[in-house]
Amino acid sequence: MIELENVGYGYDGAALFSGVTAHLAKGSFHFLTGPSGAGKTTLMRLCYGALAPTAGQVRLLGKDVATLDRDAIALLRRKVGVVHQDCQFLDHLSIRENVALPLSVSGRHAEIAGSDLEELLAWVGLSARAEAMPAQLSGGERQRAALARAVIMSPEVVLVDEPTGNVDWEMSQRILRLLVELNKMGKTVLIATHDMSLIRAAKSQIQARVLRIANGDIQAAGADL
Amino acid sequence: MMYWLDQIKGDPEANRIVPPSGFTASLTVFTAAVMAFLAVLALSLSMAAGRQAAQWDSALSTSATLRVAPGADAARDLAAALRILETTQGVRSARPLSAAEQQALLAPWLGSAVTLEGVMMPQLIAINSGPDGLDAQGLRLRLAAEVPTAVFDDHQDWRAPLVSAAKRLRLLGWISAVLIAAAMAAVVTLAAQASLAANAGVIAVLRLVGARDSFIEQAFVRRFSLRALVGAAAGTALALIALLLVPAAPSNAVLTSLRPEGWGWGLAMTVPLLAAGVALGATVLAARRALGGLT
């Protein structure tokens, strides 16, 4: 699903990390952890083609992201659900419209009025808040709405950046349960987080692997958790 | 062609998803209105100058003057000159001006109170030729041989620079119209860039969920093209009303009217469409440049 081969990335000539190699198989559940500033978000952005690596190769769904033009990357992103830490909504659209946004931009207008959207909103527990505007939602509701938007196109891969950064323990467990459910449906899940309690909670429910990025390198870090 | 039609038609979803941005909307409409107003005036000036050049060229190319010197043999020379003119190829008519007509010609300089009686005045002959002109070279040779005191003037010396000036004026009008279109393209580009920059967050979200650049482009392109069309239509209407309020020149006036004539009205009507086309092209380029710089 996602293959990183000797991937390097740097800002303004300074290397953030280099020689990163990792393979995320279909249906796997991975955490990406590490200290703040280690490059977790950057690595996530490399995974869905928002950034191009300065060295090495990123293959997403079998395609070398660096060789794709913007149109091809756009089409690839329809198969990859992404949840940012700040959720990134369009503030002038309702939650229902924001969740349906991937359908709108890909021309699948007929499905917007379909029952799948309602089921999805119910799955994340936002049926009653569907007509609310993003600014009216709590942190947990925003995360769940962003997750619904990320999976509305039935992506093969779901990338989530710091899903529990702005929510309490109870809500973080609820979000984790949704992500575990997605994984059980066969989705490949990659979560960037520095929340060790989230990782422990996940490992008690599912076979999750942990990748730790630190000092410019990445390594499997399952044993110490 | 289909691409451009799609851009104008736009995607209703894209229009709904990208929020309208405040000041750039009114800026584009206002600029398009002003530029269209100026473009219609420039085109009208250009067309008027073209008509003027044609009118002067046509009027002066079919008229000429023969001047017979005063003196003891003036009557004989006049008769000889008229005889020569009768047999000159291309001469349609030749008529000696009366004393009153000659005095009227001098009135602007001498006034009408001065009498020319007793003043040695050359006799002028007004010549009208057909549309193909007359045989000036042959006429000059015959006059030199038979009436050496006569001077033939086909107005070429002052007709050529006058017509040339009118043609230059027409060219300047067209250049002005092109510069106005370029200025409008620049302003629309700036407005589109401002709008794209203001919507960078929206664009980032759209890209995140898999929107293609063409989808994002359409929202901006259609919006700016329609604004330019509406603004330019208003500016063109105002310019045409202004031109209609300019008094029409009488048929014998030296200067022609600024009002468009015939196909000129149709050309003026195309200004809003041209403005929309300029805005469309400018926004497509601005959007591509902006989207190329965003991840």
**How many CB contacts within 8 angstroms connect chain A with chain B?**
61
The residue-averaged pLDDT of A20-33 equals 90
Which of A119, A138, A154 finishes a domain?
A154
User: CB-based contacts of A179: which residues, under 8 Å, 6+ apart?
Assistant: A29, A147, A158, A160, A163, A189, A191, A202
Say which residues have a Cβ less than 8 Å from residue A37's Cβ, sequence separation at least 6: none
Q: Which residue of A has its CA nearest to B210?
A: A74
CATH number at residue A26: 3.40.50.300
Let me know whether A75 and A4 are in one domain: yes
Contact B210 A106 (CB under 8 A): yes
Q: Which of A11, A60, A87, A90 to mutate to test the interface with B (most CBs of B within 10 A)?
A: A90
pLDDT for res B83: 92
- Residue A84 covered by a domain: no
Q: Which of B19, B201, B210 sits opposite A105 (nearest CB)?
A: B210
> Residue A121 phi/psi, 5° resolution?
-65, -35
Is B256 a residue whose pLDDT tops 70? no
Is B148's pLDDT higher than 70?
A: yes
Closest to A15 (Cα-Cα) out of A216, A158, A193, A222: A216
- Beta strands (DSSP E) in chain A are 2-11, 14-24, 29-33, 55-60, 63-64, 80-83, 157-161, 188-192, 209-214, 217-220
DSSP A200-223: HHHHTTS--EEEEEETTEEEE--T
Mean pLDDT across B87-110: 86
With H, G, I as helix, E, B as strand and everything else as coil, classify residue A154: coil
Q: State residue B6's pLDDT score.
A: 65
Concatenating the DSSP letter of every residue in B93-128 gives EEEEPPHHHHHHHHHHHH-SS---TTS--PEEEEEE
- For residue A16, being part of any structural domain is answered with yes
A105 vs B17: CB contact, 8 Å cut-off? Answer: yes
Task: State whether residue A225 is helix, strand or coil.
Answer: coil
Indicate if A4 and A69 belong to the same structural domain: yes
Asked if the model's pLDDT at residue A225 lies above 50, the reply is no
Among A98, A126, A154, give the residue marking a domain's end: A154
Max CA separation in chain B (angstroms): 103
Residues in chain B within 8 Å Cβ distance of A110: none
Sorted by sequence, the CB contacts under 8 Å of residue B5 that are 6+ apart come out as none
Residue A97 to residue B205: CA distance in whole angstroms: 13
Answer yes or no: is A113 within a domain: yes
pLDDT band at B223 (very low <50, low <70, confident <90, very high): confident
What is the pLDDT, as a whole number, of residue B158?
74
Confidence of residue A50 (pLDDT cuts 50, 70, 90): confident
Residue A22 lies in a domain: yes
Pick A82's closest partner by Cβ from B19, B208, B215.
B208
Compute the radius of gyration of chain A from its Cα atoms: 17
The whole-number pLDDT of residue B213 equals: 87
3-state secondary structure of B71: coil
Count of domains observed in chain A: 2
**Cα(B113)–Cα(B294) distance, integer angstroms:** 83
CA distance A112 to A149: 12
Is residue A210 situated within a structural domain?
Answer: yes
Residues of B in contact with A149 (CB under 8 A): 209
Please give the residue that has the higher pLDDT: either B210 or B294. B210
Length of chain B in terms of residues written: 295
**Which domain-ending residue is among A108, A127, A154?**
A154
Three-class SS of residue A130?
coil
Residue B2: band (very low, low, confident or very high) from pLDDT cuts 50, 70, 90: low
Q: Which residues in chain B have their CB less than 8 angstroms from residue A44's CB?
A: none
More confident residue, A99 or A115: A99
Give φ, ψ of A77 to 5 degrees: -65, -20
Is the pLDDT at B78 greater than 70? The verdict is yes
In-domain check, residue A3: yes
ipTM above 0.95, yes or no: no
Q: What is the least distance, in Å, from the CA of B226 to any CA of chain A?
A: 22
Q: What is the mean pLDDT of residues B125-147?
A: 87
A38 assigned to some structural domain: yes
User: Measured between CB atoms, does B291 come within 8 Å of chain A?
Assistant: yes
Look-up of token digits 């451009």: B4
A187 exposure class (CB count in 10 Å sphere: 0-12, 13-18, 19+)? buried
> Residue A224: its pLDDT value, please?
41
Statement to judge: residues A44 and A58 lie in one domain:
yes
Determine the average pLDDT of the residues in B257-275. Answer: 84
What is the distance of C-alpha B137 from the center of its chain?
A: 35
pLDDT digits (tens, 9 = 90+) for B150-184: 898 887 777 778 878 878 888 888 898 899 888 88
Give the torsion sign (CA, A122, A127, A130, A134).
Answer: negative
Among the partner-chain residues A75, A84, A109, the one whose CB lies closest to the CB of B210 is A75
Question: Residue B241 is which amino acid?
Answer: I
Reported confidence tier of residue A222, pLDDT bands at 50, 70, 90 = low
Question: Tell me, what's the pLDDT at A132?
Answer: 94
- What stretch of H or E contains B137? helix B136-146
Asked if residue A18 and residue A55 are part of one domain, the reply reads yes
Is residue A71 a part of any domain in this protein?
Answer: yes
Task: State the pLDDT at residue B1.
Answer: 58
Of residues B117 and A60, more confidence is placed in A60
Interface of A with B in 64-103 (CB under 8 A): 70-71, 74-78, 82, 84, 88-90, 92-93, 101-102
Are residues A115 and A23 both part of a single domain? no
> According to the model, what pLDDT value does residue B34 have?
92
Mean pLDDT, all residues of chain B = 83
Inter-axis angle of helices A70-77 and B200-208, nearest 10:
60
Residue A223 binned pLDDT confidence (cut-offs 50, 70, 90): very low
- What's the pLDDT at A1? 82
pLDDT of residue B10: 62
Q: Which residues numbered 182-211 in B keep a CB inside 8 Å of some CB on A?
A: 201-202, 204-211
Q: Which residue has the higher pLDDT, B118 or B74?
A: B74
Tokens, residue B252 = 């014998």
pLDDT at position A146 is 92
Nearest to B13 among A50, A78, A109 (CB): A109
What is the 3-state secondary structure of A70-105?
HHHHHHHHCCEEEECCCCCCCCCCCHHHHHCHHHHH
Q: Is the pLDDT of residue A114 over 80?
A: no
- The span from the CA of A222 to the CA of A203, in Å, is 10
- CA-wise closest residue to B209 among A61, A174, A5, A150: A150
Best B208, B294, B295 residue to mutate vs chain A (most A CBs within 10 Å): B208
Q: Which of B201, B204, B213 sits opposite A71 (nearest CB)?
A: B213
Q: How far apart are CA B209 and CA B14, in angstroms?
A: 13
Same domain, A51 and A16: yes
Contacts of A75 in chain B (CB under 8 A): 210, 212
Closest partner residue to A101 (CB to CB) among B19, B201, B209 is B209
Is the whole-model pTM more than 0.90? no
Q: Which domain holds residue A138?
A: 90-154
